[in-house]
Amino acid sequence: MNEVVNYTSEDNYAIIKIVNGKANAISNEVIEGLNAGLDKAVKENKIVILTGQPGIFSAGFDLKVMTKSPESAKELVTKGSKLSLRMLSFPKPIIIACSGHAIAKGGFLLLSADYRIGVEGDFKIGLNEVMIGMTMHHAGIAIAKARLAPIYLDRSVNNSEIYNPKDAIKAGFLDVIVSEDHLLPTAIKIAKMFSQLNEKAHAATKVKVRKSHLEAIAKAIELDLKEEISINL
């Protein structure tokens, strides 16, 4: 795809891997690579397994871009929100093999997938935007409302509560956790399970189930375009 996103095609699935430095930051280039990977998966008719580097799925948006100017922050956040909207309505199943920490946009990517597998260990998962001085954007709130357990919504969005993998299941960020050596094999097993679904029925049902949330996220993206987005570090 590009230098920061790798694509590997297998039998009935493709592995898309984020490889962008120590934090596995979500930059403009990463989003470009992820969209190119999703394009290729559709073309090849593959189920998607999205993963990161050992110990880190992603620590969120690239702070160099986010702090450069309000305009650059808005551009990156908008691209990220549109990526989440695409993932939530993607015609093929998306499995995330969460290889470690998943913070901010890393957490939002978890909330944008169909099945999320985490790894056991001292890893942090959650939305830290308010903690680092960013007023949560409308699209972020809409995505969180769509996927987080209601009792954890305020705790996660307003209070920036960060969870270990076990508690991240309760909150709604993850579906299961496994040992590190079982992460990819479990993701492949789930991909094989998903391959038994009727493709058209899965794609159409996903959009029906998520219709109100998809509409809310699309409207939220438009609202965000009218507001300034910045981080007060």
199 token code pair: 């493709």
Q: pLDDT tens digits for 101-119?
A: 999 999 999 999 999 999 9
- The predicted model gives 35-61 an average pLDDT of 98
**5-181: what CATH class?**
alpha beta
Question: What DSSP line would sit under 8-59, residue for residue?
Answer: EE-SSEEEEEE--TTTT-B-HHHHHHHHHHHHHHHHHT-EEEEE-BTEEEE-
Averaged pLDDT for residues 146-152: 97
Q: What average pLDDT does the structure give for the chain?
A: 96
pLDDT at 137: 96
The pLDDT value recorded for residue 198 is 97
pLDDT at 233 > cutoff 70: no
Q: Is 61 left (phi over 0), alpha (psi -120 to 50) or beta?
A: beta
pLDDT(2) > 90: no
pLDDT for residue 15 is more than 90: yes
Q: For residue range 161-171, list pLDDT tens digits in order.
A: 999 999 999 99
Does residue 228 surpass a pLDDT of 90?
no
Residue 91 has pLDDT above 80, yes or no: yes
Per-residue pLDDT tens over the stretch 174-221? 999 999 999 999 999 999 999 999 999 999 999 999 999 999 999 999
Q: Please give the model's pTM, rounded to 2 decimal places.
A: 0.96
The answer for residues whose C-beta is within 8 angstroms of residue 88's C-beta and 6 or more apart is: 112, 143, 146, 206, 210, 213, 214, 217
